[in-house]
Amino acid sequence: MSRILIIEDEAALASALSAAMKRMGHEAVTCASAALGLEKVAQKKSSLVILDIGLPDMSGLEVLARIREQDAVLPVLIITAHGNLQNAVEAKKRGASGYLVKPLDLRELEKTVHAVLQTGVSIQPAGESAADIFIAPLLIGSSPAMQPAFAAIAHATASEAPVLITGPTGIGKSLAARVIHRHSRRHAAPFITLSCASLPETLLEAELFGHEKGAFTGAVATKSGHIERAAGGTLFLDEIAEIPPSIQMKLLRFVEEKVFTRVGGREDLRVDLRIIAATNQDLTQAVAEKRFREDLLYRLRVLEVKLPSLRERISDLPALGAYLLAGIVKDRRPALSDDALDLLMRHNWPGNVRELRNALEYAVAVCGGATILPQHLPEELRAGALTRPVSVGRLDAALSEWLDQKLGQQLNYNAIHDELESRLLAMLLPRFEDKPTLLARVLDMNRATLRKKLRESADEKIE
């Protein structure tokens, strides 16, 4: 049995967390403020701290920093109602063992608590402050689909391992790479980018590894490549799947040994840097088709950041749109009308956030007033918008995000059905004065059955 300290100011949530910990066989102690929580931490009796970011007297992140001053190894599990990149990165930097977003899923909470108690905490040195964090516009949002990406980026900032960023075109893989670099230990060193699809094979090799004087026609002087330019920092290889097999072998040697040879050279050169690669292709399939080396894939994919498409995180579109409009227009800031926003929410966005920016740039150019209307949006977007009612389109998008999250947890159909039903009943009950009898009558459901389902829902969900 472990002693779990819960620092949470919402009484109902603190009580639910306490009950959940006791069901797991642990002792639970709750505190409603940062000050009381820090007093309990100072007593050195806790095995784990569950810490809310939004406390009345102090930010949970500041509490985490103070806990680290008192105890460098005490595991701390962060919970927050507002999952975003700032919180995820800063929590990881300050030594958080885990990071969960409300509403908390009971199974996920128990699994995380068990894992944290087993493995403890990995302390990383503090870097830049949260106030100085670089938030790329393509990484804005709090949708469920973005939470795994935020957590993966946070882990990558606290590591020196190679990172592979995957996802469709136009979602901001290069910006994610910059965020990782800026908040890594190498942030003061160069960040060098090379697009592997933009150059022919011979030129790509010379650009990557450099060349000696006379190595080929036109090589009138020795030239350093991108690897040497990125010394001490980060080399970002975009569209890594396009690297020819002959160069893949040389890159593999460098990734494993930090040693390479310039084109036309004989001397081995050693450079210390970190590699971040990105692709919109399935590299596992590319390996099966003999287009990409399996050993190179394993070396590049030590950590992986999977960025979702815009369609998978459509609930973030209003915030994304507002941010992008602020960057497009400096002297005036037109707002999206409700009809224009509805139209954008119904679009499939095959070009993702890049396509959204282009659409908004077009709208700003043709809109002379303070409000962007549907007629100001590109014609092809208006013509290709989904014909389903807006409410159904949004419901489908949200359900798609939710299902992707649940399927990733390998839940069976019954588990998915039961959780979906519990969420539906939880939303229906307030519409009928929180009276199960009235709700059962309207739904034509047996009252005892409904009450049983509501009790099971309360046990499974911690709001």
Dihedral over alpha carbons 74, 79, 82, 86 (to 10 degrees):
20
* Total domain count, the chain: 3
Instruction: Give the range among 161-165, 181-185, 424-428 with minimum mean pLDDT.
Output: 424-428
- State the CATH number of the domain containing residue 11: 3.40.50.2300
Tell me whether residue 115 is in a domain: yes
Tell me whether residue 428 is in a domain: no
Tell me whether residue 437 is in a domain: no
Q: Does 338 lie in the same domain as 297?
A: no
Tell me whether residue 441 is in a domain: no
Greater confidence, 119 or 285? 285
Domain boundary residue, one of 369, 390, 411: 390
Q: Does 276 lie in the same domain as 164?
A: yes
Q: Does 221 lie in the same domain as 118?
A: no
Tell me whether residue 442 is in a domain: no
How far apart (Å, rounded) are the C-alpha atoms in residues 92 and 123?
A: 9
Domain boundary residue, one of 349, 367, 390: 390
Mean pLDDT along residues 150-155: 86
- The pTM of the full predicted model, rounded to 2 decimals, is 0.63
User: Could you tell me the strand order of the sheet in which 234-238 lies?
Assistant: 191-195, 234-238, 274-279, 163-166, 303-306
Tell me whether residue 138 is in a domain: no
Per residue in 356-405, pLDDT (tens digit) is: 999 999 999 998 788 999 999 998 888 866 544 545 555 666 677 677 67
Q: Does 83 lie in the same domain as 129?
A: yes
Tell me whether residue 144 is in a domain: no
Q: Does 324 lie in the same domain as 299?
A: no
Greater confidence, 83 or 48? 48
Helix (H) / strand (E) element for 4: namely: strand 3-7
Domain boundary residue, one of 361, 390, 419: 390
Helix axes 60-70, 34-42, angle to 10 degrees: 20
CA angle 135, 141, 142 (to 5 degrees): 125
Q: Does 331 lie in the same domain as 228?
A: no
Q: Does 296 lie in the same domain as 164?
A: yes
Helix, strand and coil content of the chain, in percent to the nearest 5, comes to 50, 15, 35
Instruction: Give the range among 123-127, 151-155, 189-193, 248-252 with minimum mean pLDDT.
Output: 123-127
Q: Tell me which residue range forms the domain holding 183.
A: 159-306
Q: Does 315 lie in the same domain as 302?
A: no
User: pLDDT class for 125, splitting at 50, 70, 90?
Assistant: very low
Per residue in 228-258, pLDDT (tens digit) is: 999 999 999 999 999 999 999 999 999 999 9
Q: Does 317 lie in the same domain as 272?
A: no
Tell me whether residue 425 is in a domain: no
Query: What one-character-per-residue DSSP string does 103-115 give?
Result: SEEHHHHHHHHHH
Greater confidence, 138 or 224? 224
- State the CATH number of the domain containing residue 263: 3.40.50.300
Q: Where are the beta strands (DSSP E) in 163-225?
A: 163-166, 191-195
Q: Does 22 lie in the same domain as 119?
A: yes
Residue with token string 């998978």? 312
Q: Does 167 lie in the same domain as 288?
A: yes
How far apart (Å, rounded) are the C-alpha atoms in residues 171 and 349?
A: 11
pLDDT of residue 438: 80
Q: Are 53 and 116 in contact (CB under 8 A)?
A: no
Q: Does 339 lie in the same domain as 226?
A: no
Per residue in 57-100, pLDDT (tens digit) is: 998 899 999 998 888 888 899 888 766 777 777 787 788 887 78
How far apart (Å, rounded) are the C-alpha atoms in residues 325 and 329?
A: 6
Tell me the average pLDDT of the chain.
Answer: 84
